[in-house]
Structure 1
């Protein structure tokens, strides 16, 4: 796509938030917080002060540090191995973050949910898979399984700094050992309860204030079940962790969207949303309280899905659809009414377990790794990050725009187009997590793999380390792609989420030092602890620049 900033500003949509009928929940869906009363009633004197804050991009960097634009600073809230209570510690490779305050009137005290996507075995269990003579123990595997899943912690801001409230009763770990109910009437692989959640990538929240965490590359852990032309199943062992050698858990118990109740840590897996490498799950609440859930399958040549519930506040009763982006149609993965699915599968449960196969049978469009999904609070359009597809020479990815017919999220037709493409001209590559702030500015992270980053023989050299970008909606910088944070060596930035007062951006720094081969010589030492071991961490980014961006729409209205 030829990049023209002038055309892109027009393409963004210049409507104000008040011109689109947006339910209140949309302001709190996906990666955007519901504004607190403090945010909505900002004194004009504060707005005038923020008006003078300058938005300056930082340059691409290969430095092993978390670098921020002028007007920003960060504090580490929690990092791998930190104690959260007497029994539990914070997991590894944190990804999606989500903050829900206890009281909407107090945006500085609440619960933080954090995903733990996977583990670096060298740092977590001491197992070096590169060493052919290394002997692995069940104790090491247990450490690895404990370090994935997710964490709930109570955090508070006091004296301008966010900290974990140690030993708070809400502080809990959900791991690959935690029993989790399957929200379905038919057993899956003979069970109604799965053991653990894993490969937790991005997520979302529900209108009823629970967390959604998504199981992505589940086959790395217990392998996968495949079927031949006669529908005979066979098990493929995992190529990464090999946990199936120690625990006989069915692969079909993983690859789902999981709902977590923050009050007690109870969880359930939502079978109706299908089984595949879920990157995220973004909900939209309709006027009649039914919900629409968008979710993508983060793998080359896989698909974009949408679930429409048939009952209020349900993620069980309803229909799962898959996108035909060429013809602009949502195709129902409905065994009862799709003859092609009846020919291949025995019932709806099998369709959902084998959603990838069912989607291809119906002719869904293959996409380039659909990852995060967010709904534009200004235009109402659905944005989908397509990270890349090297097998099809798409090295830099793009962001897809989906316009539902008549702006109805339960519509079965839509228009799809490219919102913006990555590459040298736009200055970013491999878009991943998306987040809209309270002014409608689009923030996004990038996911250039550690094995490709900063290498002369790869097409990513000029981008250097992964970064966080923002595309402002207002002011002189409207439409520009601006780099505001640069990650440490090998790291990826994930899970951007704004506090309800618009003053803090929560962000994960994931897998610094990922390419380390010798623990005595790590490729990164961030966050610079005494042991010099790199640690994934959640940071709180604050400063006038964050406030300004969240209040840009209000600032623009000041004469």
Structure 2
């Protein structure tokens, strides 16, 4: 039967609600990306404490020591604009840059001095003056040699599976052999927004779903060095780009680790519980020392619906993962595995860390059961003193936890095929831990304390009463609930500083701070945050942790396999004039406003680079450099801002600190945006927006 073209959108437009509830994210972003997770109660109903319940007194005490700057201090620094300047910024040319740079005579992004980019609302990528950027890959650009040129009016699932996917998130760049001019770009494609992607009435409902499944997943793309040092572009001859690859929602994945073959991972299509079709909702990721890429499956729960009742065997398990069967993607209409009433186990096959070998384009990517199943933001790897591999991970949900994995085997640094093959097995055996934080109370003026990594399971023995190894791995959230870890305010990217060896975690926000399940008390002084002042608007009080934190961890003995650690809250983000903000003790009148940290990365000197998502200070999201050591520790400097309604993803610094890669996700995604009435047209190559990966570098 031939279906008629859609006369309306395949997914409903989202109504705009009152008030400031999810940062600056539109309701459309919340709907399409995470099935409105923040509109629902926290899935974690355990009695475990939140981090601020345990250490809030220390923050209150430290606020008294640091004091609060007035509004005038921020305006005086040039970091904020009055309403007239904001209006001018709104209509500024798309080639606009930030203020004048103080050139340090080097291409090194880790060393160069620059004047921070001012908060703005331009429909442009705005980088610090003295720098430039290129768009490397856009949604729809050909990835495979036989891919057609992108035509938004002539899209097919077959073509989409050969073109660059939608809403790029994680960005990784790997050297290609001994070549000084070629590299491999690896990118996630987290989710799709059908309201903005397809002309009304052009495609059938089934075609739209097939297209969207193809635009999810990951891309591997060969790139080549540009004429300007630090610049990069896609290799022009795709016939020679033999490593180029698209991974979609239907690509076969190999399950690995202890849970392979478990009954709860078997389906009608996979009676052995060993092969899974596809990956989606992929957020952040990380590179391994053996040259592969890890990617986190995050908001997978919103992709599954139901045609009847749910399997009563999994009532508690579904609830803990936010699985309700009310997914709005409608993929079950073209593939029954997304119908929980037909395939109750298919949903258990998502929420894993996946691994892709960019140098093996014909090798099936993996899903690692040993790393646990939850809403993985990403995964980052460090080699410990004894050569074991340690992986740090965050579960991106209000009230959920931080995790780490320590391998049983050791890393082989030999540059041989045999050593690489051995290293690729390291994530299948070891021990999975969850974090518990303890504060130092009011004894000092610092927001700090100690912590413990609580073991959940090894590959052979569970440490959680009443749960087997496979129970722990498939239902990691429920296992963690039993051992008393610390609830966090959306732990997202967790990465290891290559210079000082410390671990940095982005805790994005928790808009529910202060409600019945996350109560306000003396130990939770951030229940009132000051928002929307960076563009000269008055400070406004709003409940909840709106602006987020950066958490710094130090492994005891500088040993990442240790089960104890120290920690401090390096940044309490927000407007510097707000009393609750803190920037590691740095002068608050000399920092850029920052809100909702999401992804983190490091340059070779150990500077922290922070990408934001959901800025509530009235400006577009951006990318910030922060010193973590020395006299400038805590100095936050905005290096780039995004186009309208876009999130900053990535980032990735490479090429001797000359190249800064970042992804511009969901430009123009607003509650009113459609294909015919876009909010943004960035990167201004078409009359509709196209998410893309960019690289920033020094001008010549």
TM-score, normalized by length of structure 2?
0.65
Residue 111 (structure 1) shift:
0.6
* CA distance in structure 2 between the aligned counterparts of 1:170 and 1:5, rounded to whole angstroms: 55
Residue 47 (structure 1) shift:
5.1
In structure 2, the CA distance between the partners of 1:52 and 1:280, relative to structure 1 (3 Å rule), is closer
Residue 239 (structure 1) shift:
2.7
**2:166 paired residue number:** 92
Instruction: Check if 1:239 corresponds to 2:327.
Output: yes
Instruction: Check if 1:525 corresponds to 2:674.
Output: no
Residue 403 (structure 1) shift:
1.5
**2:456 paired residue number:** 333
Residue 351 (structure 1) shift:
1.3
Secondary structure of the residue that 1:122 maps to in structure 2? helix
Residue deviations 1:101-143 (CA, integer Å, cap 9, x gap): 1135x44311110111111112335579xxxxx9963221111
* CA distance in structure 1 between the aligned counterparts of 2:285 and 2:677, rounded to whole angstroms: 34
Instruction: Check if 1:365 corresponds to 2:486.
Output: yes
* CA distance in structure 2 between the aligned counterparts of 1:153 and 1:49, rounded to whole angstroms: 25
8 A Cα contact 1:107 1:499, kept in partner = no
Count of residues in correspondence between the two structures: 487
**1:446 paired residue number:** 612
8 A Cα contact 2:318 2:324, kept in partner = no
Tell me which moved more, 117-126 or 200-209: 117-126
Superposed, which structure 2 residues align to 1:494-505 within 5 Å? 494-505=649-660
In structure 2, the CA distance between the partners of 1:497 and 1:233, relative to structure 1 (3 Å rule), is closer
**1:429 paired residue number:** 595
CA radius of gyration, larger in:
2
* CA distance in structure 2 between the aligned counterparts of 1:4 and 1:114, rounded to whole angstroms: 44
Superposed, which structure 2 residues align to 1:467-482 within 5 Å? 467-472=622-627, 479-482=634-637
* CA distance in structure 1 between the aligned counterparts of 2:482 and 2:674, rounded to whole angstroms: 46
* CA distance in structure 2 between the aligned counterparts of 1:373 and 1:49, rounded to whole angstroms: 24
Root-mean-square deviation over aligned CA pairs:
3.0
- Structure 2 unaligned runs (5+)? 1-58, 68-103, 148-161, 267-272, 338-345, 411-422, 439-449, 514-543, 582-592
Q: More strand by proportion, 1 or 2?
A: 1
Residue 337 (structure 1) shift:
5.8
8 A Cα contact 1:5 1:479, kept in partner = no
* CA distance in structure 2 between the aligned counterparts of 1:242 and 1:322, rounded to whole angstroms: 35
* CA distance in structure 1 between the aligned counterparts of 2:374 and 2:432, rounded to whole angstroms: 13
In structure 2, the CA distance between the partners of 1:48 and 1:540, relative to structure 1 (3 Å rule), is closer
Instruction: Check if 1:195 corresponds to 2:293.
Output: no
Secondary structure of the residue that 1:60 maps to in structure 2? coil
* CA distance in structure 2 between the aligned counterparts of 1:50 and 1:412, rounded to whole angstroms: 35
In structure 2, the CA distance between the partners of 1:268 and 1:63, relative to structure 1 (3 Å rule), is same
In structure 2, the CA distance between the partners of 1:227 and 1:127, relative to structure 1 (3 Å rule), is farther
**2:336 paired residue number:** 248
8 A Cα contact 1:404 1:413, kept in partner = yes
In structure 2, the CA distance between the partners of 1:290 and 1:325, relative to structure 1 (3 Å rule), is same
Instruction: Check if 1:58 corresponds to 2:117.
Output: yes
Tell me which moved more, 389-398 or 493-502: 493-502
**2:189 paired residue number:** 116
**1:222 paired residue number:** 304
TM-score, normalized by length of structure 1?
0.81
* CA distance in structure 1 between the aligned counterparts of 2:107 and 2:379, rounded to whole angstroms: 37
* CA distance in structure 1 between the aligned counterparts of 2:623 and 2:232, rounded to whole angstroms: 21
Superposed, which structure 2 residues align to 1:249-288 within 5 Å? 249=337, 250-265=346-361, 266=363, 267-288=365-386
Residue deviations 1:46-100 (CA, integer Å, cap 9, x gap): 6599999641011110111111111210111110011122131100000111111
Residue 237 (structure 1) shift:
1.5
In structure 2, the CA distance between the partners of 1:509 and 1:210, relative to structure 1 (3 Å rule), is same
* CA distance in structure 2 between the aligned counterparts of 1:258 and 1:51, rounded to whole angstroms: 31
Secondary structure of the residue that 1:74 maps to in structure 2? strand
- Structure 1 unaligned runs (5+)? 8-44, 129-133, 454-459, 546-559
In structure 2, the CA distance between the partners of 1:269 and 1:51, relative to structure 1 (3 Å rule), is closer
* CA distance in structure 2 between the aligned counterparts of 1:83 and 1:524, rounded to whole angstroms: 23
Residue 283 (structure 1) shift:
0.5
8 A Cα contact 2:570 2:634, kept in partner = no
